[in-house]
Amino acid sequence: MQQIFDVPQRQRKPDVHHHRQADDLRAALKAFEALADRAVSRDRSEQAGAYEEIAELGMEPLELMAEVYRSWEDSVTDHDKKAQELERRRREVKRDYDALVKARPVDAEVIEG
């Protein structure tokens, strides 16, 4: 004999842990951005405080900045290449325009018909 129990499905609780992780990530990003802003601040005391915080996290501020610079190098290089390509195209268009201006008739007459 088989018994079947009709157990109503309990209400699902939202995944609080998942949402807490997302909130923690947002808070961590905001804290990181604030720390980064202080690290490049013009105020020397703010900079010093930020460098101390970075050192407390087990990182060397100058090595961290160097790594950020290296990671941005590729995007800067791509930008420079695109700027050079645009400048080359601008020169070609200018050369073609100057050739057209030079080739047009100087003394043109209006022909009425």
Q: pLDDT, tens digit, for every residue of 68-94?
A: 777 777 777 888 899 999 999 999 999
Tell me the residue range of the domain where 82 lies.
65-105
How far is it, in rounded angstroms, from Cα 70 to Cα 77? 11
Which contacts of 15-23 are long-range, i.e. CB under 8 A and separated by 24 or more positions? Answer: none
User: Is residue 73 a part of any domain in this protein?
Assistant: yes
Q: Is the separation of the CB atoms in 61 and 54 below 8 Å? A: yes
Q: How many domains does the chain have?
A: 2
Q: Is the separation of the CB atoms in 47 and 39 below 8 Å? A: yes
pLDDT of residue 17: 53
Give 97-111 pLDDT, tens digit per residue.
999 988 887 776 777
User: Is residue 6 a part of any domain in this protein?
Assistant: no
How far is it, in rounded angstroms, from Cα 67 to Cα 73? 10
Given a cut of 90, whether residue 31 has pLDDT beyond it is no
pTM of the predicted model over 0.95: no
Provide, rounded to the nearest whole percent, the portion of the chain with pLDDT above 70. 78
Indicate whether 101 and 74 sit together in one domain.
Answer: yes
